[in-house]
Structure 1
């Protein structure tokens, strides 16, 4: 134990920089930034993980000749971007739920998300919690930690530079999350569209029928049935979203190797 603390004192600057990059992920990443996780646990786990990384990394001392404040900002940016990529793809399920709510008639109903303390759509919260549980089942949070560890192979301390390519990359991540969310909601959207088409035909053929009275509960019922039937394939779809998350994290890291 004493040897560990002696090594940390010898590498105190490196330890602080590693702690900053690790903390950046814990601020944004969907699992680690959850409000349900106590801040003491977040800080303790980030501290322990930083100790392990510091003792296992081989970093050149010459890098530390750069202004320490600039190094802190660079390391924080790396951690925040990795966490942002995972959070952006995880927000796909909120997008899916928002589209589904608008189609089946829950668009005016929101609930409080205890993790982020904001109002979210009903089905969005349902999809998010379900995906959250699946993330833990397939050890997706371990993959995020592995991405943090591998980030030092691609982006050594002090080597990060934010440029236009990085900005365009983050914008592309947002667009992909919205596209994926729309694809996940496609079964419900198509079914409700056909239901609206059927109700329109009935309104023309049977003018006495009040379509607005019949249509709203009918769309809710059909929407919930489609959602229930699509639950079995939700696991494979969610796994695909997680795989895209890890792929884009490593695409971000590889962009610095290519540069």
Structure 2
């Protein structure tokens, strides 16, 4: 008859529970798997499945009871690691959303907004479209598999019970948020520059010929030119996103390395 002692049961629970917290926190914060349209049961089940796959190859967990203050500190530590990695992925996808905001405002689509349940705020239609395309490209590039591989590798670099995290990693994460504005502006710069030139030309034309109703032709012209340039930009969007995702994966590894306590 198979007998399981309390010590063995506690060891199995500890080996499963703390990796589950880190993986679950990442899945909650990740932009794709953490979407509000995905039920919480699916997220918990996926986190448990990933934990069952990853846990057998992990280093031995510390001999600390789960129901203790030290165990609570390890839970918070695992949550911080998972949330930081999930926030990094949110920053990557926010680049495309910011570019859509810049382009939409310049095209005159500032009024074309709708409520996005995942962000809880009004989002421009163009930003939402680019965000969905970036999610599909992320899946096409197997980005989700690479992120899971990096996340599984964090248990070697940052084993459970590492006794503290380097706070410089969170400062590095805050500085990485500038990528939203820098890369977003670089993506939108060709369209914004062309539409700005058109608006300046229409302004000069209105001063030279006041009887010409520039306002009646300005909006359709900027809309038409913006759509044409947007079609041209789509041909190079895949290469831009591939470079952006590569930058994000490199930063994830750098972030994990920086979290190692001094």
Q: Give the structure-1-normalised TM-score.
A: 0.90
The answer for the alignment partner of 1:19 in structure 2 is: 20
Shift of 1:159: 2.0
1:254 and 2:257 matched? yes
The separation in 1 between residues aligned to 2:157 and 2:174, in whole angstroms, is 21
- Structure 1 stretch displaced more, 62-71 or 16-25: 62-71
Change over 3 Å in CA distance of 1:174–1:11 after alignment to 2: same
Q: Is the 8 A contact 1:75 1:160 kept in 2?
A: no
The answer for the alignment partner of 2:244 in structure 1 is: 241
The answer for the alignment partner of 2:135 in structure 1 is: 132
1:96 and 2:99 matched? yes
RMSD between superposed Cα atoms in Å = 2.3
Q: Is the 8 A contact 2:166 2:258 kept in 1?
A: no
Shift of 1:149: 0.4
Q: Is the 8 A contact 1:192 1:223 kept in 2?
A: yes
> How do 1:38-57 residues align onto structure 2 when only pairs under 5 Å count?
38-57=39-58
Q: Give the structure-2-normalised TM-score.
A: 0.90
2:75 is matched with which residue: 72, 76, 88?
72
SS at match of 2:51: helix
SS at match of 1:119: strand
SS at match of 1:158: coil
The separation in 1 between residues aligned to 2:103 and 2:182, in whole angstroms, is 14
Q: Is the 8 A contact 2:58 2:156 kept in 1?
A: no
Gaps of 5+ in 2: none
Gaps of 5+ in 1: none
The separation in 1 between residues aligned to 2:150 and 2:157, in whole angstroms, is 10
SS at match of 1:106: coil
The answer for the alignment partner of 1:31 in structure 2 is: 32
